A and B are shown apart, each in its own frame.
Chain A
């Protein structure tokens, strides 16, 4: 009986509508704040792009002259956002399995899409850099293997989603797949690059060739990280609102 009552009261949440309500009731103040944020983001990105060409000096230790190493201003933040978005996608997938709230599924999907876009950017910039520094676009370096597997997993994730018609079943099964992938992928993404010798420079470890970053590079690099994170948050917000409106329209049609 209690369960039945709960279902009755929670039925309005069946399409995950109420928990997205904050995206719907946009007040005047939050709109002004959003516009300020977008302007700041646009200015920041422009400054980073110009600075990466004109201000950042060559970084010795990368390639022959270090001229090509300026690409880290784009490559590393893109990879960071890819990892962050995939992580958030998994978090929302697990949250969907626990709460069965479809707005969580939409968030997982938006993050998976954004993660794939940034992962592609990281792969392409990495391949271009690899060509400039070592003469080959692709040679199955452990880092390249792990990023290729990440892309494959999310490609399979999107195929799985497209093969399921029912919204609840799609959300449930794709959440299970994303979680299962999250358990097995650390082998490739984090263990393999550290066990097998890789050409990829390690920025965090400190012992690598790249540990000495000059202050000019560091400033632009950190600014780029912040701007990329802002861009990610903005795109995520747009995606969530878009899928929310689509779900609302389906609801109105009585589907």
Chain B
């Protein structure tokens, strides 16, 4: 099989597993919705400042991504299928397949959670295109860094709980950029500052993906 077909095959395998159990998607959605409801409930209908609302969105995304993304490799280690996967495909296709799966998972969660977030906090989006682009790029970045770090964490004794510790410092540039861009999109600030944040997100995603593709070989092959 050629390189990209192996990558698609890994993606299809994970998709099929997910459709059978809906384990990761269900956990992710419930985590995000629970957090959203808890925050909204504790605010008791008070008006939320745009600054706080923007950072809340990315805190919710960060922690729910951590619960869902870690699944991809922990599950391979738990069921013992990691060795078979190592024999079937090189490290590159495995990483890309897992990354695409995680990205699809998080985009799916975002599609459901973001409208709920806008309704619950009574927000209106000033720059819709910019907002959609921010959420998409931010979520893809979460998936990219989360994929390689969950592969690291899956080999340790702590597994899932280690992922959050490892991810926060690496993802902080992304979270800062995404929060700034979201704030601009919600309040309708100037488009130029938003373009700076968006291009930083693109640059961040690109460099994390490139570094991960190079480094994943060392994580995956013992």
Q: Kindly report which residue of chain B lies nearest to residue A191, judged by CB atoms.
A: B200
- Whether B157 contacts A149 by the Cβ 8 Å rule is no
The size of the chain A interface, using a CB distance under 8 A, is 28
List A148-163 residues whose CB lies under 8 Å from chain B. 149, 152-153, 155-156, 159-160, 163
- A213 an interface residue at 8 Å Cβ cutoff? no
Q: Contacting A176 at CB < 8 Å: which of B162, B204, B219?
A: B219
Q: Which residues of B contact A185 (CB under 8 A)?
A: 169, 173
Which of A76-84, A123-131, A167-175, A246-254 lines the interface with chain B? A167-175
Cα of A159 to Cα of B168 in the assembled complex, Å = 13
The size of the chain B interface, using a CB distance under 8 A, is 28
List B139-153 residues whose CB lies under 8 Å from chain A. 145, 148-149, 152
- B166 an interface residue at 8 Å Cβ cutoff? yes
- Whether A172 contacts B158 by the Cβ 8 Å rule is no
List A172-195 residues whose CB lies under 8 Å from chain B. 172-173, 175-177, 179-181, 183-185, 187-188, 191-192, 195
- Whether B166 contacts A177 by the Cβ 8 Å rule is yes
- Whether B170 contacts A176 by the Cβ 8 Å rule is no
- A59 an interface residue at 8 Å Cβ cutoff? no
- A132 an interface residue at 8 Å Cβ cutoff? no
- Whether B172 contacts A149 by the Cβ 8 Å rule is yes
- Whether B215 contacts A176 by the Cβ 8 Å rule is yes
Cα of A163 to Cα of B163 in the assembled complex, Å = 12
- A219 an interface residue at 8 Å Cβ cutoff? no
Q: How many A-B residue contacts, CB cutoff 8 Å?
A: 81
Q: Kindly report which residue of chain B lies nearest to residue A184, judged by CB atoms.
A: B170
Q: Which residues of A contact B145 (CB under 8 A)?
A: 180, 184
- Whether A163 contacts B218 by the Cβ 8 Å rule is no
Q: Contacting A180 at CB < 8 Å: which of B148, B162, B196?
A: B148
List B78-122 residues whose CB lies under 8 Å from chain A. none
- Whether A160 contacts B218 by the Cβ 8 Å rule is no
- A30 an interface residue at 8 Å Cβ cutoff? no
Q: Contacting B152 at CB < 8 Å: which of A160, A165, A192, A195?
A: A160
- A17 an interface residue at 8 Å Cβ cutoff? no
Min CB–CB distance A91 → chain B (angstroms): 15
- B126 an interface residue at 8 Å Cβ cutoff? no
Q: Which residues of B contact A172 (CB under 8 A)?
A: 218-219
Cα of A175 to Cα of B152 in the assembled complex, Å = 11
Min CB–CB distance A127 → chain B (angstroms): 19
Q: 28 A-B pairs, CB-CB below 8 angstroms?
A: A97-B218, A149-B172, A152-B168, A152-B172, A153-B169, A155-B169, A160-B156, A163-B157, A165-B157, A169-B155, A172-B219, A173-B156, A175-B218, A176-B148, A176-B152, A176-B219, A177-B149, A179-B211, A180-B148, A180-B149, A180-B170, A180-B215, A183-B211, A184-B170, A184-B211, A185-B173, A187-B173, A188-B176
**What 13 new A-B contacts, CB under 8 Å, besides A152-B169, A177-B166, A191-B200?**
A97-B215, A159-B166, A169-B222, A172-B219, A173-B156, A180-B170, A180-B212, A180-B215, A184-B204, A184-B207, A185-B169, A188-B173, A192-B176
Complex A-B, nearest 9 residue pairs according to Cβ-Cβ distance, in ascending order: A187-B173, A163-B156, A152-B169, A153-B169, A183-B211, A163-B158, A176-B215, A156-B165, A156-B166
